[in-house]
Amino acid sequence: MGDFPILPESVTQYVKELGRRIRLARTRRKLSIVELAAKAGIDRNTLGALELGKPGVSISAYVMTLWALGLEHTLDAVADPNTDSHGKTLEASRRSKRVRKPRVAKKEYDF
């Protein structure tokens, strides 16, 4: 999988926790790694790395695995712009305070 930059500890923990949750969902469904990997259309080694929380596993592998488990709907809240209060605050601070009427273009050749 190659070398990756050192990830912040919080990111590392999130990735490991997501892998742990996916493993738990797989074992609850009594699926082997080979079965789930085949259903998700990924390699079993990729699924193993995903469950261990290794960096470098593609986001599409995560999404396909969640889909294969029937959990793709859990992604609805990820990066939802409606829950981004910081982004909304920044957007509001950049809004114009004044409202101006649009300028009417002068017709150059108005006879």
**Domain parsing of the chain, residue ranges:** 9-80
Within a 10 A sphere around the Cβ of 26, how many other Cβ atoms?
Answer: 20
Contact 34, 56 (CB under 8 A): no
d(CA 42, CA 75): 19
Q: What per-residue confidence (pLDDT) applies to 102?
A: 74
Q: What is the pLDDT of residues 72-109, one digit of tens each?
A: 999 998 988 889 999 889 988 887 777 777 777 776 76
Pairwise pLDDT comparison (111 vs 53), residue with the higher score: 53
Rg over CA atoms, the chain: 24
Q: Whole-model pTM? A: 0.76
**Cα-Cα-Cα-Cα dihedral of 13, 19, 25, 27, to 10°?**
-120
Q: What is the pLDDT of residues 48-71, one digit of tens each?
A: 999 999 989 999 999 999 999 999
The arrangement of secondary structure in 9-80, i.e. its CATH architecture, is Orthogonal Bundle (1.10)
Amino acid at 62: Y
Amino acid at 21: R
Residue 110 has pLDDT above 70, yes or no: no
